[in-house]
Chains A and B, each alone.
Chain A
Amino acid sequence: MLEKPLGELDELVLLAIGVLREEAYGYPIKELINSETHRNTALATIHAALYRLEKRGFVSSHLGGATRARGGRRKRLFTVTSAGMQALETTRATRERLWTRMATG
């Protein structure tokens, strides 16, 4: 497990998953990030980030919940693992340290 902070997109994705709780899958994650950051990130980018995060062990996923809105296809739902939470904490800590130094230095 690395003590390095996460990249910006990875961090956003993890946060988004945390926000969305049960309905945390590709499309809503993308919509949330785009609406919060006023950017136009592509679905594929998000998906790639999710894949990376899962490979590193920061999220876990399972298939479930086919709805009519998706033409009957199941979604892959993500949850943040404890390692992922740790990574988020590390990232946040790094940011706050720098903020503090900027304010006091």
Chain B
Amino acid sequence: MMTPHPPAYARALLHWFCSPDWLEEIEGDLYEQYQADHHRYGPRRAHVYYWFHLLRFVRPYVLRRNRPAHAPLFGPIMLKNYLTIALRTFRKNTGYTAINITSLAVGLACCVLILLYVQHERSYDRFHANGDRIYRVFAELRWGDQVHEMARSPHPLGPTLAETVPEITAAVRLQGAGELVASRNNQRFRENRFLFADPNVLDVFSFTLQAGDPATALTDPNSILLTASTAAKYFGTANPIGETLDIDRLGSLRVAGILDDVPENSHLQFDALLSYTFLAERLPTQMAAWDNFVTSTYLLAAPHTDATVLAKAIARSVEASPHASGSVTYGVDAFQDIYLHAYKDGDLGTGSDVRYLYLFSAIAAFIMLIACLTFVSLATARATERQREVGLRKVLGAHRLQLTRQFLTEALLLTLVASGLALLLAHLAFPGFNTISGKPLVFPHSATFWLAFIGLTLGIGLVAGSYPAFALASFSPKQGLYGAPTSLLRGQRLRSTLVVVQFSLSLGFMVSALVMADQLQYLQTKDLGFNQDQVVTLRMPPALHGLRMERAKHAFSQHPNVLQASASYHTPGAGHAQYFSEVEGLEKPYAFPTYIVDTDYLDVMEMDMVAGRAFSDALTTDATAAFIVNEAAVAAFGWEEPLGKRVRWDQNKDGTVIGVVRDFHIASLHAPIEPLVLHVDPSYFRQLSLRIRAEDVRETLSGLETIWASLAPDQPFRFAFLDDTFAAHYQSEQRILRLVDYATLLAIFIACLGLFGLAAFTAQRRMKEMGIRKVMGATVTGLVMLQTRVFARLVFMAFVIATPLAYLAMQRWLTTFAYQTDVQPRLFVLAGAVLLLLTLVTVSVQTLKAARANPVDVLRHD
């Protein structure tokens, strides 16, 4: 009968925890016990008893006292030796070292840039001392079934809430002053960043006053506070306090103080503050109106007030007020959330989206991943060359942990060098990156950044280096010293997987870039429903608004290159207004986006009518009682016969529908086309749209400027091209596209670097094999093809993996556009082909070198 054996796992456990001093006798005794039990109770119970007895031995005196590596994991003792070996290794294989350092440096540089960007974005509005107590009011307006959120409120709301709600300490209203011209001693500038502010603005927000008395700075209606750069613009180095600045439409204002320039990371930006009391004085009726949503109201809550408590208190106060209206409710957003999360229609300043941060971080993470994979891949490939070293060290008494320490040190050293290079690269890349991101980033000073960077470097070094370190350290001396170097297959499958992952990510990037470019192209060339080329739009000064526009229109039409001119309230792509209107067939009033135009508008824009007729000068009723709607309106209202339907616009203009215009876009293609109504009303005219000849544009513009000067001599000439206005909507998409393009290039670059190194290594190892094959009659071409076939297969696998994922991701992105292209299969094929080509070229180049070698030389030493 075979000698029964105790359970192997238990024995292994014993070997693990038991100190070598007692191991032999304890194991022996346990063995005897086991034999006896086996004899008495049979094998199964004997096994169980063995475990029991074994575990009883887990006592302090039995457990291993000193771990083999006596020094802690990163002690200083062997460090010098490790460093020397590391440097020697690097010098011996400069190629691989260079590849590793480069790819890590590029990855780290990307991380640095993205880190700075994210940090910058998240720092917005944090400088306000009361920042976490400030809230911005928004209004929810209900019309029928439509709800619209706006970051605007009526003028009286702020002060009323400050009085009636105990949780509110103070209320500040800010309102843009629009476009004005300010002048001082014949220096005139057009300004559009002046804000009206309640006098307590400096108490609530942390905009610091350089000069002037904060208590009285804005109490006087005619006072104005300038930022330092604005003051310099008008007054140079002279002290402007007490001096006057003339503002057209407002009069002369006295400079009561100088403010520090608004920091860049504030979503509110302004060049000067005017006093709200000015508005209260000049426009008392408007200030008391509750149905006008023009101003932005900010509330300072009492300390430790909960946001929901605040919102409820406000709701109660509003309900109780005599001005309550069923169609308006108010809510609050935390001020510091606005920039990234809660930017709404009507908000002052600019907003961004937190999703950009996620996107950019993801891109940086992917690139870093590719770089790390390259590192791991190359390190494990070269492992076989260090077998001898590892074997010798083990024979001389090194433990696995010590060896791991050594290899980790090497990895960290590489990473440190890479990080230095990364900082240099990031520094060089700043200007370009800032153009893409639109933020002025500078080389970091903050301690948090450096801590994060060092942490990142160490982390990457450890993470990327740990697998190779463990793998290398586990080589047994026997393998290293006696046998021939282990066959190439060791770790091959892992490396192949890594390469596939890298390729998948690269493919993902490529496809994304291509799809985005495609969509953007589509957006920019899609038929908008009108002809946006060669149209110049002019915002006329108030002196020429309304009925006086006719003169200007006539003047501009005289220019030989102006084909046709038209006046209107709005132009496509630059906003629109909605007006409450009663529509035949609808029970409740409808909030109608409206374009107020003249009779030439449809011609100038080259819009087509699909039913009825356009406005005409011949019929006087066209100006007073005629409406044109678009196809979307007809569909929305369920009109079978649109012509003749009655509309009561803004509850005071009655008329009938005389025509239906083909749908056209009034906003970016993010939004679907909504119902739209057009009518003629010269009193609303504010803009001119001119269709000009395609040739001699510059001459035309200077001619227009001359005409402008004759009409409005004291107003600077400003114009825009309609197609530019539309293109501006896609600015953020264009930015992302640029970023993705660069990221793609980097990703491919790093992946190819890795591939380059890997191919070189593989080819070298295979030299003997190739020599033999050549002797047997293989050609150089045949050998190259043999090698490339292996890698081509990897590309194919990556393609199979990446394609469905990329497809899904891109589909989701496209759904954010109301008008989208399809994800074209040819883009995938293109990406795959490019990657395949790159791979083949890279691998061939390396293999060629090795394949050309003379078999005699290669096989000589076997």
CB of A69 closer than 8 Å to a CB of B: yes
> A-B contact count, CB below 8 Å?
55
Cβ–Cβ contact B27 & A73, under 8 A:
yes
Considering only residues 44-101 of chain A, those with a C-beta below 8 Å from chain B are: 44-45, 47-48, 51, 63, 69-71, 73-76
How far apart are A60's CB and chain B's nearest CB, in angstroms? 15
Whether B24 contacts A47 by the Cβ 8 Å rule is: no
B445 close to chain A: CB less than 8 A: no
Contact check, B59 vs A73: say whether CB atoms are below 8 A apart. no
In Å, the complex CA distance between A63 and B22 comes to 10
Q: Tell me the smallest distance from the CB of A45 to a CB of chain B, in Å.
A: 7
Partner of A45, one of B25, B27, B33, B56: B56
Given contacts A48-B61, A73-B25, A74-B25, contact A43 B35 (CB under 8 A): no
Docked pose: A71 CA to B3 CA in angstroms: 9
Who on chain B is nearest to A73 by CB? Answer: B28
Residue B56 contacts which of A42, A74, A76 (CB distance < 8 angstroms)? A42
Other-chain residue from A25, A43, A48, A76 in contact with B53 (beta carbon distance below 8 A):
A43
Are B31's CB and A70's CB within 8 A? yes
State whether B28 touches A71 (Cβ < 8 A).
yes
Q: Are A43 and B30 in contact (CB under 8 A)?
A: yes
Task: Confirm or deny: B281 has a beta carbon within 8 angstroms of a beta carbon on chain A.
Answer: no
A70–B28 alpha-carbon span in the complex (Å) = 5
- Which A-chain residue is minimally distant from B52 (CB atoms)? A42
Least distance between A68 CB and chain B CB atoms (Å): 9
Which residues of the partner chain B approach A30 to less than 8 Å between Cβ atoms?
29, 33
Report whether A42 and B25 are in contact in the complex, using a CB–CB cutoff of 8 Å.
no
Chain B residues near A73 (CB-CB < 8 A): 24-25, 27-28, 31
Query: Considering only CB atoms, which chain B residue lies closest to A69 in the complex?
Result: B32
Quick check: is B26 within 8 A (CB to CB) of the other chain? yes
A71-B29 Cα distance, complex, nearest whole Å: 10
Residues of chain B within 8 A (CB-CB) of A75 are 25, 28-29
Closest residue of A by beta carbon distance from B35: A69
B-contacting residues, A6-29, CB 8 Å: 25-27
Interface size on B, residues (CB 8 A): 18
Say yes or no: A63 contacts B24, CB within 8 Å: yes
Residue pair B25, A63 in contact (C-beta under 8 Å): yes
- Taking a contact as CB atoms under 8 Å apart, the answer to whether A47 and B28 are in contact is no
Secondary structure type dominating chain A contacts = helix
B57 touches A (CB below 8 Å): yes
Closest beta carbon of chain B to A80's beta carbon, Å? 18
CB-CB contacts of B125-152 with A at 8 A, as 1s and 0s?
0000000000000000000000000000
Flag if A25 contacts B25 (CB, 8 Å). Answer: yes
Asked whether, in the complex, the Cβ of A47 is within 8 Å of the Cβ of B35, the reply is no
If A27-B32, A27-B33, A75-B28 touch, whether A51 touches B57 (CB-CB below 8 Å) is no
Contact across chains for A26 and B25 when beta carbons are under 8 A apart: yes
Bound form: Cα–Cα A8–B26 in Å:
23
A47 contact from B3, B31, B32, B57, Cβ within 8 A: B57
How many Å from the CB of A6 to the closest CB on chain B? 19
Q: Which of B13-51 contact A (CB under 8 A)?
A: 24-33, 35
Q: Is the CB of A76 within 8 A of B25?
A: yes
Name the contact of B28 in the complex, choosing from A42, A44, A74 (C-beta under 8 A): A74
A27 to B53 Cα, complex, angstroms: 12
What CA separation (Å) do A4 and B84 show in the bound complex? 61
Least Cβ distance of B85 to chain A in Å?
40
Would you call A71 and B31 a contact (CB within 8 A)? yes
A78 to chain B, nearest CB (A): 10
Contact yes or no, B28 A43, CB < 8 A: no
Give the complex CA separation of A93 and B57 in angstroms.
33
Q: Known interface pairs A26-B25, A70-B28, A76-B25. Does A44 touch B61 (Cβ–Cβ under 8 Å)?
A: no
**Across the interface, do B33 and A43 meet the contact criterion of CB distance under 8 Å?**
yes
Q: B29 touching A25 by the CB < 8 A rule? A: yes
Q: Which A residue's beta carbon lies closest to that of B56?
A: A44
Q: Nearest CB to that of A72 among chain B residues? A: B28
Closest residue to B59 on the A side, CB-wise? A48
Distance between A61 CB and nearest chain B CB, rounded to angstroms = 9
- Are B56 and A43 in contact (CB-based, < 8 A)? yes
Pairwise interchain contact B53-A47, C-beta atoms closer than 8 A: no
Q: Please report the C-alpha to C-alpha distance between residue A26 and residue B26 in the assembled complex, in whole angstroms.
A: 8
Q: Which of chain B's residues have a CB closer than 8 A to the CB of A48? A: 59, 61
B330 to chain A, nearest CB (A): 75
Query: Which 3 pairs show the lowest CB-CB distances between chains A and B?
Result: A73-B28, A44-B56, A26-B29
Q: List 10 A-B contacts (CB under 8 A).
A: A25-B25, A26-B26, A26-B28, A26-B29, A27-B29, A48-B59, A71-B28, A74-B24, A75-B29, A76-B25
Chain B residues within 8 Å of A, Cβ to Cβ: 3, 24-33, 35, 52-53, 56-57, 59, 61
A26-B28, A70-B28 known; 13 new pairs, CB 8 Å cut-off, are A30-B29, A42-B56, A43-B56, A44-B53, A44-B57, A47-B29, A63-B25, A70-B31, A71-B27, A71-B28, A73-B25, A73-B31, A76-B25
